[in-house]
Chain A
């Protein structure tokens, strides 16, 4: 630290940083993006390995024999489901009881804030059925969960059948040390949310549920099963949960290890892994797989029924059977054996899964990028903001006669406090309006305009968002007269630091979201001043605004999923994504929508304000 305590050298360093600020920023941005793209390159990543000793060295045998019977049960379930027209509660209770489980039911109801047009539901009423296999000689302190959703139509019948088959088989084994809860949940995530909230006796989303009658202690891990065909070609594992939380990497390792052992094709993001990492196509494959994970994680929504478990510190993943046109098929017995093996190893756990990584990205199932590798990419983007802040600071205290002791500038910037505070307050009020108004005023909107509730909400969001662009950038003049050169610098300094803190915190919790936001917002923050050409800059600023980021992400995601859409469809998709985001917030407590509305958007408005500073 001699560098900083020596005034001469410090001045030299600051001079260097201010003089070369723009090139250094550009270099950092470029390096950050490159670093990020390099993460998917196989030699730069680590191979996955099992960290948890309890799951690694112990041998388990998989002997589940009765896949055919499970399929028959699944068919029976389908027939009863069709007959009842929903969840066949009585049949499930009877069947689970016959398998020697303690069976309980739970009813729940939820009125959505506005109708969900994707899933066509508004007032949701349902029943969850779960059976607990009590482990012999265990004091009900720990449990594992296997869940299968009761989906409308012909989906997931095989999953329920396999769940019941496994329950029957597991019941006759003596090696269980943890209770196993077999859960069939109705209305997918809503049912799961009701069950989990009831299990932990919390109520974060205002749902009505009946209390649970039976519990199994603290849940250590959970697997959710989705299976819609009698034979499968591959198994896909879904990890991304609510708010971008991921389960411990050991759970993915466990799945991968058993797929290797039993000889089942396994995928992540629906993509097989390739061995030709040194070819361009192999690399682009890895990049696409990783980008899919980044996009899904950034969305902050649960991508399977497992996603809600993570909030309660329960490691969970969804395993999905995929039946494509490949030759090689795997039958249900094999899937059952795989699940049996996974459960036996989870049963062997002495502690919660904690050894391996909780923060990672996966370019393929056998390789992962840990937090230590991907954080520098974000750090390189974030450092741009700090460099700009330093530059602004130096400019603000520019009369070099005063030493950089921080004593002299308080007097100079004090008249600017009001000019900084006003735009801050106004832009945050706009953000609050963006957060509150859409759901509050949907009735009024429906009354006055020929739109449905969902359309009303989404259109209100867009309207408030656009109105925000017009509103705040002139207000400071009314309050504090002419904006000064000093004024916008102070404002920008505040805005840049605010953005840096915001993005830093976001990236710590949800790296993908933080990185995507940084990619678009950091250039805005870096270049915008009142002196750049207004029209062009305004266009650039709008294109790099959070709303457009979302729009691009929608198209990009479709492109990655190999389902490109036309602009028309993309626009409709974009609208539905907005409504889904708001619904996720209200139903499950996803934080992406409030983050964007209350923090990121106001922060971006500050830069918009600076552009139109007069």
Chain B
């Protein structure tokens, strides 16, 4: 059965090669001869294919070496600086660099390109050893890691939102804006101060606004983020997680990111990373992940792994001019001519799973290497181009992979798990955050861990928190809630929720919008305030051939989840070991350590929210000041005046003699003759003194003399009459 399929494949392939050959001849008359020669020289010429149909498509894992012609391999050996041969110093610094590019043609006609650059360095910062010699590993990051005792660091910059409905699941999910989470080593005493310092340093390294990370947007998730590398403790006191949904990612972030690569953007896959094309796309995400991994099987010693990833989705309508045809040149306006000389492996993978018979799209130049990997619980097949081999580049000395679609249908996908989020209600007083989580699996339910971090200026009413699935109340089996403190820290809500099969689970919580102080508003307050996305972590265990086995695994996962350790349970060191020593697996499939092939871990991020807070009209401070002053002066002043003054018959104007007497009294320093008595409240006591009425007045409230001066004034006849009346 398999043999017959293989032979059919071979025949189709033969036809494809032939048609391509014809196309090339007709399109390019000048290099036609060379091309012809190259095809003839190729060991896999059509003539030979007929003779050996079973060898036509080779699986990379088993037969990589055989496909390489001996002379080419020798040439590569010379080019490639194999670490062992280069390093002569003691102790030998063992480091290794791999690069790869995965291209996945998407249903919608868009194309997804994912770069991964991996540097593994057999060193250990944890023991406090000073490391001063750097080779492939970027020194700037190495110093940061050793100085701040960072165990794991994950940072991502994303521009755009991953459209799960159109594109399926990404290899490495990342939220819009900047996301940073760091596990510190347990030797760190003041985590918060270290974190603050680290964010500022990273801000400089990546030319991003990470310095805006402070206590108001930092949280310590208890369960959602577990170490991805080897770890012996998962005490979340050493974890810090922060996001900046507003961060705009552009070329100034790309340049420092590229500088971390051993070859820079001079050679290898990185030559494709030209910002004018990368930012002419629907989605752009770049990330740096640093974690300790096992060096070898028994996992005696740890080495440091740096993964730099860059994901980009090019749009069919905007970049592709609507033509369903993609090539490296069209995507990146460059072609590839060589691998990075420092790389031990440099490969391009093209996802051809949906294209077994080449009826969806055709690929040129054709490659004979195939590879299989389990990505997101799905066994995918990839065509592989190995850049370390000269034969890949052909006679034109450049590789320009071309994908041309044959069919034009593009439906919306129904991804297994996706989520959306929105603010309900209107007006500027209250609102409601709705999160919808879709489980589209027909018969499986999944436990998912939700993480929600809401800024303090949305005052959550936690008693209104509801989780409903299929119209019924869905009680979370684990809730971790940390209330916010105004201007200090955000709300943190973590929940473990079981998603019933084929359902929509709705999480709602009401909030009140706080009034900020006027200095706390951003320069563009009417734009609204960003509220970070909700993060949904799920360990899906369902893809398997055997139903029974499937159930068992699922049960196991669930039991893990019930103990609210959904992620940490996934990372025993043996798994980490497995992922790191088996080099046959492409990089993109090995990031999240999977327990078994049948289960996998996914993260889903919802979109961030833009919430308008009650905003004063900053455009008219002058009017506001004028109005306020007028109201205070006229309204309050007169009212106060009327309330605190008592009216009485005034004496006729003091005669000239009295005025003169007052002037004299003033000069003498004696209080003048008082004509009026102030309001009765001010009169503290009335007493008879030497036969005359004396009124003790507390003048402090009237004349701002402090401390209060008791002032005895002699009273004239009118005043005493008034007092008698009262």
Contacts and interface: CB of A to CB of B under 8 A. Distances in A.
A88 interface: no
A97 B609 CA distance: 26
Interface stretch (B117-125, B183-191, B317-325): B317-325
A138 B283 CA distance: 8
A139 B642 contact: no
Interface in B619-671: 619, 634, 637-638, 641-642, 645, 647
Given A102-B166, A141-B530, A218-B423, A313 B612 contact: yes
Contacts of B426: 200, 202, 311-313
Contacts of A214: 165, 420
Interface in A186-217: 200-202, 214-215, 217
Contacts of A312: 426
B434 to A, nearest CB: 6
Interface string A126-145: 00000000101111111000
A218 B528 contact: yes
Interface string B442-453: 000000000000
A351 interface: yes
Nearest to B412: A102
Given A1-B634, A218-B423, A350 B524 contact: yes
Contacts of A172: 317-318, 321-322
A173 B318 contact: yes
Given A140-B176, A217-B607, A313-B426, 16 more contacts: A4-B638, A5-B638, A5-B641, A5-B645, A5-B647, A102-B166, A134-B163, A138-B161, A139-B608, A140-B608, A141-B530, A201-B422, A201-B432, A217-B610, A313-B427, A352-B528
A134 B316 contact: no
9 contacts: A4-B642, A137-B279, A142-B610, A172-B321, A201-B434, A202-B425, A218-B609, A218-B611, A351-B527
From A139, A201, A202, A217, residue with most partner B Cβ within 10 Å: A139
A43 interface: no
B607 A140 contact: yes
Interface string A338-357: 00000000000011101100
Contact of B609 (A1, A137, A217, A350): A217
Contacts of A142: 610
A137 B434 contact: no
Contacts of B284: 137
A97 B165 CA distance: 13
B526 A351 contact: yes
Interface string B411-423: 0100000001011
B220 to A, nearest CB: 25
Nearest to A356: B619
A56 interface: no
Interface in A103-152: 103, 134, 136-142
B318 A140 contact: no
Nearest to B633: A1
A97 B408 CA distance: 12
B586 interface: no
B455 interface: no
A7 interface: yes
Contacts of B108: 100
A338 B528 CA distance: 28
Contact of B610 (A100, A103, A141, A173): A141
B177 A139 contact: yes
A140 B161 contact: yes
Interface in A308-356: 311-313, 350-352, 354-355
Interface residues of B, number: 57
Given A136-B160, A137-B284, A174 B318 contact: yes
A1 B637 contact: yes
Contacts of B176: 139-140
B160 A137 contact: yes
B252 to A, nearest CB: 15
A351 B521 CA distance: 13
B99 interface: no
Contact of B283 (A102, A137, A173): A137
A318 B689 CA distance: 83
Contacts of B159: 137
A17 B331 CA distance: 82
B281 interface: yes
Contacts of A171: 317-318
B526 A141 contact: no
A4 B639 CA distance: 10
Contacts of B513: none
From A174, A214, A350, residue with most partner B Cβ within 10 Å: A174
Contacts of B617: 354
A348 B642 CA distance: 54
Given A1-B637, A201-B432, A141 B281 contact: no
Contacts of A355: 619
B607 A141 contact: yes
A139 B245 contact: yes
Nearest to B279: A137
B516 interface: no
Contacts of B528: 141, 218, 352
A137 B281 contact: yes
B22 interface: no
Nearest to B313: A136
- 4 shortest A-B CB distances, which residue pairs? A139-B176, A201-B424, A1-B638, A351-B526
Nearest to B315: A136
Contacts of A311: 426
Nearest to B109: A100
B441 interface: no
Nearest to B176: A139
A313 B423 CA distance: 14
A215 B610 CA distance: 13
Nearest to A136: B282
A354 B526 contact: yes
B676 interface: no
A101 to B, nearest CB: 10
A7 B410 CA distance: 86
Contacts of B527: 350-352
Nearest to A134: B163
Given A139-B176, A174-B318, A218-B612, A201 B425 contact: yes
Interface string B593-609: 00000000000000111
A173 B108 CA distance: 17
